[in-house]
Chains A and B, each alone.
Chain A
Amino acid sequence: MKDITEARYTNGKPNLRRFHQARWDEPIIFELSNQGERGILIPEVDDQTKSEFEDVLSTIPEGMQRREPPKLPELSQPQVLRHYLRLSQETLGTDLNIDIGQGTCTMKYSPKINDQLASMPQMAEIHPLQDIETVQGILEVMYRFEQILKEISGMDQFTFQPAAGSQAIYTNASIIRAYHKARGEEDQRDEIVTTVFSHPSNAACAKTAGFKIITLFPDEDGYPDFEALKAAVSERTAGLMITNPEDTGIFNPRIEEFVQLIHEYGGLCSYDQANANGILGITRAKEAGFDLCHFNLHKTFSTPHGCGGPGAGAIGVTNELAKFLPVPIVEFDGSMYCLNYDRPLSIGKVRAFSGVAPVILKAYAWVMSLGADGLREVAEIAVLNNNYLLTKMLEIRGVSAPYAKGKRRIEQVRYSWEELSKDTGVRSEEIGLRAADFGVHYWTSHHPFVVPEPCTLEPTESYSKAELDEYIAILSNVSNEAYTDPDLVRTAPHNSTVHSIDHTPLDDPSQWAMTWRAYRRKVHGEVD
């Protein structure tokens, strides 16, 4: 037989994948509708009830009964399944790709066992208002996990109620507001300080909670500017909401001074640890003096991202702030777990019930599969992988790692393609779309682009050296193409599900269409 393998390697290295994403050219589900088909049948009402309440719909108050059935598609079950499986194939989840291009988001492996455990009826089929004796299992999980996060962060008490990271940041802002209110300083303390390399939600959530925002920019070395902080703080300062390491992967070594300065002025310090992947078991919120912190369980703690949720935000606070946490709080009296609502200074509810319980379960299971040594290994390998990637990235033409020259980074790096862009006219975003042709995801960065033509890579602990090499080979190849055949890059993607998207209707109220009915009305002139 002919040697098939030989043609898959060049100079002993694997060739780039000849990838093409699934392209089902799938219709919109409404186009698949065929009148009369059924996807599922509904459990029948027994004959007696049915005959006794045959006219129940006619008792609905006038004007409150639906006049026309909703124009939902009508499909048989296999048609529905096929449609959605085709759409799933046209989606590049972490399970499929070397997902290191979505820096700051910690796209690590989400163990399948944990998904299976969360699908058990003992998790899926319990109601949040059941008698406390019948939900001891899930409360025990929450209680145990709280003890774990207390050790990981050094904070004194946790809540898991926020549904994700941004809601956790909002909740922290609300706690900061409640703290100053309790001290009679609510009106005076109306400013929150953050940095431009902290997640945009630190600024946006604090603003939503009613604060004015002061954003610090980095100094020449990329560190948050301490002089700028000094100029920003005053008796108006309510708090500091900051990430560390920042989105650049640079750890702010003066963080303790930042916290002390805010404290001197009477503010609180909230540590955005959405992504704490590089510092698990290395450094904690407590030692730097923070008053609050939060973890995204769908980032550092491995739970799957679900196309953008469900996630969970875990907030830890010091004893002084514990009284402000949302209700209820999980407590344990030595024999029973319970939910305590009797907390008069609590900010109240931020989300329904006790948070996203299956996500909390998955995160607990993940920690319990690793232990203290395993978590430390997570951080160490995530950081090793990142610095390995950094070394290899800097060998690629046209890319740089601004700030902190010659220094190591923690878990991620914000790179710049400024040089390549100046040389070739190819933008960072276009590099990403070309990378998609080789089966990987790539993201530019949060706005604003302080680093020109940015991309942020975060390899986590979940990818092998060979996979990191493959990602590097893809970006290296795209860089070469940008220098030799820039149009090839600019017109990408070529091997994706769809081709170049026309963005103009998205910002034009007369054209934008967020539902199929709006599309039909605007494009086909259909009127309901």
Chain B
Amino acid sequence: MSKKKHVVYPYIPNSVPRVKKQMLEEVGAQSIEDFFEDIPEKLRIKRSMNLPEPFLSEYSLRRHIEGILSKNKTCLEYLSFLGAGCWQHYVPAVCDEVNGRGEFLTAYAGEPYDDHGRFQALFESASMMGELLNMDVVNVPTYDWFQAAATSIRMASRITSRCEVLISKTINADKLSKIRDYCKPGIELKLIGYDPATGQMDLDSLKAAMSSKIAAVYFENPSYLGFIEAHGHEISRIAHDHGAECIVGVDPISLGVLSPPSEYGADIVCGDLQPLGMHMQFGGGHAGFIASRDEEKYVMQYPSRLFGIVPTSVDGEYGFGDVAYDRTSFAVREEGVEFVGTAAALWGITAGVYLALMGPQGMWEIGEGIMQRSHYAMSQISKIEGVNCPVFQSIHFKEFIVDFSGTGKTVEGINKDLLAKGIYGGKDLTEEFPELGSCALYCVTDIHTKDDIDKLAQALRKVVG
């Protein structure tokens, strides 16, 4: 045996040799090897794993991790105008305080008794999202908007018993890739083009593509490319005229000032909770929501858990539980609706905290402020020679496209130059939307000041000049 010093691991109480020995005796085992008797010799690893030397002290571990992470340059050090599905909004301190609480952070699958608080917090989050969306049913969050959109489409397909879905061509290519993979068994996706001047969905193409085979029309508002899709009513009417569902993906932080999709005919609404109190975390802060009217035909098609409020045996006491649990894969395996499992509940709770802090006034102010800032940014950038901004003649919320084609420079080159000036330029759309030329998707939010925007405009002027 090795003569290495025995380590008592702080995370492993029974790594104390005396305790180990005592426990082995109590179970009548010679050694821990006895417990692995069912694992054939052939399958055993007969050597120590070849892994890096550990940092046994907490301090040395911290130094190691901090050393690696210091190679990241944050959006606090750099001025960032990146969005495209992950957005830098201010995260109120109380959001971090609540989701850092060990009780929430380390809970999992408790009963509605020992985890009453978890159930109530998630019920309240769904309820506040319900107010924002004007819808009566909101799920316990799924992984992200990608999954929420893909599941919404499969829900619509099951509801209508139809297998073709129309999607706005302005969708994010990665999200479309996810939807394609998830809908592969049996759902055919068709893209509906957009007006090159406005970005708006081409309603003539939509009408031409509609048929009694179409399960749903999916579009986003604000669109992935930042503009407000103005014809929500017409799109939903066209879908409904053909017996199809209207699915709208929405950025919830816009809903203090923009109309909830239910008001222009959406049947299923989905989106991401990340803007509501989650740090970007390199894409780690996502949580997908799905909402609908409170009708059995919708409710029974959700794969997610849905928490409902109920009475208890004590008067005036709120209790909670799983609504229609028997539709889930937890209850009936492959006979359930899609599948359910661990997803993003903590971010669901956090979004509730965010909405409770913001209230109606906060959501209105943040929406108005974002629009004012982004409009200021567009006006400043549009003054730069050779730069076209915004590309689409539509009203934008927080994101917009900047076209550098007139400068003769590539977005990649411009972004490298901006980086040298401490700025993260917008997402390069050159490959994703080649028809647009040298374009980038810029994002302006509540965290940007006039000085930040002026700094960007000034830097761009130098870079393209």
Q: Mark A44-76, 1 if CB is under 8 A from B, else 0.
A: 111011101100110111111111011111110
Q: Contact: A131 with B416, CB < 8 Å? A: yes
User: Judging by beta carbons under 8 Å apart, are B343 and A164 in contact?
Assistant: yes
Asked if B371 and A129 sit within 8 Å, CB to CB, the answer is: no
Contact A167 B107 (CB under 8 A): no
Size class of the A contact interface (CB-based, 8 Å): 35 or more
Partner of B131, one of A72, A376, A496: A72
Known: A213-B334, A368-B54, A498-B314. A130 touches B11 (CB 8 A): no
Residues of B within 8 A of A256 (CB): 40, 42-43
**Segment from A231-239, A260-268, A462-470, A473-481 that makes contact with B:** A462-470
Least distance between B169 CB and chain A CB atoms (Å): 17
Which B residue sits closest to A90, measured CB to CB?
B117
Q: Is A502's CB under 8 angstroms from B312's CB? A: yes
- One of A110-118, A314-322, A417-425 contacting the partner: A110-118
Q: Which B residues are in CB contact (< 8 Å) with A64?
A: 221, 228, 230, 232, 258-259, 264
* Residues of chain B contacted by A461 (CB below 8 angstroms): 11-12, 14-15
CB-nearest residue of chain A relative to B174? A349
- Assuming the contacts A60-B395, A61-B230, A498-B112, asked whether A349 and B181 have C-beta atoms less than 8 A apart, the reply is yes
- Our pick among B54, B69, B101, B356 for the contact of A371 (Cβ within 8 Å) is B54
A52 touches B35 (CB 8 A): no
Closest residue to A460 on the B side, CB-wise? B12
Q: How far apart sit A372 and B48, CA to CA, in the bound complex (Å)?
A: 7
Write the nearest CB–CB distance from A23 to chain B, whole angstroms.
9
| Pair B36/A383 contact, Cβ less than 8 Å | yes
Instruction: Answer whether residue B450 sits at the interface, using C-beta atoms and an 8 A cutoff.
Output: yes
Name which of B203-211, B238-246, B316-324, B401-409 contacts chain A. Answer: B316-324
Chain A positions 257 through 283: 1 when the CB is less than 8 Å from some CB of chain B, otherwise 0:
000000000000000000000010111
Instruction: Check: A398 CB closer than 8 A to any chain B CB.
Output: no
Once the chains bind, are B317 and A518 in contact (CB under 8 Å)? no
C-alpha spacing A331/B302, complex, angstroms: 37
Please indicate the chain A residues that have their CB under 8 angstroms from the CB of B313 in the complex. Answer: 499-500, 502
Say yes or no: A127 contacts B113, CB within 8 Å. no
List the B residue with the shortest CB-CB distance to A117. Answer: B65
Which of A1-9, A10-18, A441-449 lies on the face that meets chain B?
A: A441-449
Task: Report whether A388 and B23 are in contact in the complex, using a CB–CB cutoff of 8 Å.
Answer: yes
Does B68 lie within 8 Å of A129, measured CB to CB?
Answer: no
Q: Please name all residues of chain A whose beta carbon is closer than 8 Å to the beta carbon of B175 when the two chains form the complex.
A: 349, 352
Interface flag for A174 (CB, 8 Å): yes
A361, A388, A498: residue with the most chain B Cβ atoms closer than 10 Å = A498
> Within the complex, what minimum Cβ distance (angstroms) separates A328 from chain B?
10
A388 proximity list for chain B (CB < 8 A): 23, 26-27
Binds A, one of B134-142, B159-167, B212-220, B381-389: B134-142
Report the separation of the CA atoms of residues A216 and B229 in the bound assembly, to the nearest whole angstrom: 50
A53/B372 in contact, CB under 8 A:
yes
Q: B-facing mask of A119-157, CB < 8 A → 1, else 0?
A: 111111111111101111110110010001001100000
**Residue from B100, B319, B360 in contact with A498 in the complex, judged by beta carbons closer than 8 Å:** B319
Contact of A465 among B19, B131, B132, B349 (CB under 8 A): B19
Separation in Å of the B288 CB from the closest CB of chain A? 9
Choose from A91, A309, A365, A465 the contact partner of B61 (Cβ within 8 Å). Answer: A365
Residues of A close to B43: CB separation below 8 A = 255-256, 283-284, 287-288
CB of B97 closer than 8 Å to a CB of A = yes
> Are B14 and A465 interface neighbours, CB within 8 A?
yes
Contacts of B334 in A (CB 8 A): 200, 203-204, 206-207, 213
- Does B458 reach chain A (CB closer than 8 Å)? no
Chain B residue nearest to A152 in the complex (CB): B49
B456 on the A face (CB < 8 A)? no
Whether B131 contacts A200 by the Cβ 8 Å rule is: no
Residue in A closest to B14 when the chains form the complex, CB atoms = A381
A210-B184, A309-B287 known, 14 other contacts, Cβ within 8 Å: A64-B259, A75-B357, A120-B66, A164-B143, A310-B344, A355-B283, A368-B64, A369-B61, A377-B9, A383-B35, A408-B36, A447-B333, A515-B123, A515-B138
B284/A357 in contact, CB under 8 A = yes
Indicate if the CB atoms of A127 and B26 lie closer than 8 Å: no
Which of B27, B147, B178 meets A391, CB within 8 Å? B27
Q: Contact at B111–A441, with CB atoms within 8 Å?
A: yes
Residue A387 CB within 8 A of the other chain:
yes
**Min CB gap A224→B, angstroms:** 13
CA distance A298 to B346 in the complex (A): 13
Q: Which residue of B lies closest to A282 (CB)?
A: B36
Is B122 interfacial (CB-CB < 8 Å)? yes
B117 contacts across to A, CB distance below 8 A? 86-91, 497
Task: Enumerate chain A residues within 8 angstroms of B11, measured Cβ to Cβ.
Answer: 108-109, 111, 302, 369-370, 461-462
Q: Are B12 and A250 in contact (CB under 8 A)?
A: no
Complex: A411 Cα to B230 Cα, angstroms: 57
Contact A102 B108 (CB under 8 A): yes
- Give the one of B107, B284, B299 with max A CB within 10 A: B284
Residues of B within 8 A of A43 (CB): 90, 369, 446-447, 449
Within 8 A of B (CB), among A323-369: 347-359, 361, 364-365, 367-369
Are B310 and A136 in contact, CB atoms less than 8 angstroms apart?
no
Q: A206-B334, A361-B65, A465-B19 are in contact. Are A124 and B12 (CB under 8 A)?
A: no
**Across the two chains, which residue of chain B brings its CB closest to A30?**
B127
B107-A305 in contact (CB<8A) = yes
| Residues in A whose Cβ lies below 8 Å from that of B45 | 281-284, 287
Least CB distance from B227 to A in Å reads 10
A255 to B123 alpha-carbon distance, docked (Å): 43
